Amino acid sequence: MRVPLAVTTSARPREELVTRARASAKAWGVPFFPRRSGEGIADWFDARAEALIVFGHDGVTLWDKEGHHGFHAGMAHLRRMRLAAGEGDTFVRVAELRKGDAVLDCTLGLGQDALVASLAVGPTGRVVGVEKNLALYALASAGMKTYAFGPDSCHVEVVHADAHEHLRTLPPRSFDVVFFDPMFARPGKAQPGFDVLRRFADHAPLTPETLEEGRRVARRWVVVKGARYTDDLRKLGLQPEPGSHFSDVVWGRVGPSEGSP
């Protein structure tokens, strides 16, 4: 019987790698499949698992029948470099992120914006990323554990949960910024890894009810990323913030709920 997700290792793994992979599989509640020396995994997708988290000597990779994507900073690395050099970042500007802030990323995905936020809020801040899909959660949580954040960043905490349900468990005004990047249909070619994200991410639209839960939890802003040339933000009652006319991405924000403690 084929399982939705399993864990394995690269070929010829060291014992330490096997131990770490087994422990992660147990923590995530998925099977661990030992891999024999020289054994490929291509046939496993027909018989054993729909997707695999592969622990390798060079990092953690999510595989399925259509391709694979390893955890890495991607464009977030360049954004972090620019931020460290004193240049601007649209997410940081719209959210007005400051040192010591607490940020809740409700749609973590591959963790790009969370990595930028971790540098913007610094070591005294806090960034929590919520991911509903188990495969993406596994990739992000394993990858964040080994990512070199450096002394100027806080670490990113990764939570496996539905964003709406998780928001309902949080006290009012418990995060400075709540962030949503729903899986809108964006035109043009996205950066590498976006195809993997599309296959695994939750495609349900952001609802007004979830937005209101975000407003209850936020102290400063709820920030929503949307697609240009769509009415994604308008449906939520948001107006796009000023930004580059050359970007396919638009940003909206709204303050906390009136009357929140």
Q: What whole-number distance in Å separates Cα of residue 105 and Cα of residue 41? A: 33
DSSP element (H, E) containing 6: strand 3-9
pLDDT above 70: residue 187: no
- What is residue 43's predicted lDDT score, i.e. its pLDDT? 92
pLDDT above 90: residue 202: no
Q: What whole-number distance in Å separates Cα of residue 30 and Cα of residue 22? A: 10
Please compute the mean of the pLDDT values over residues 91-109 and round it to a whole number: 97
Beta bridge partners of 128: 104, 157
What's the chain's average pLDDT? 91
- What is residue 161's predicted lDDT score, i.e. its pLDDT? 97
Q: Which domains does the chain have, with CATH numbers?
A: 3-70 (3.40.50.10480), 75-254 (3.40.50.150)
Looking at the whole model, is its pTM more than 0.85?
Answer: yes
Cα dihedral sign for 49, 193, 91, 80? positive
- What is residue 193's predicted lDDT score, i.e. its pLDDT? 60
Q: What whole-number distance in Å separates Cα of residue 182 and Cα of residue 208? A: 13
Q: What whole-number distance in Å separates Cα of residue 72 and Cα of residue 233? A: 29
Write out the two tokens for 44. 């496993």
Q: Among residues 242, 133, 220, 116, which one has the least CA distance to residue 183? A: 133
Cα Rg of the chain (Å, integer): 19
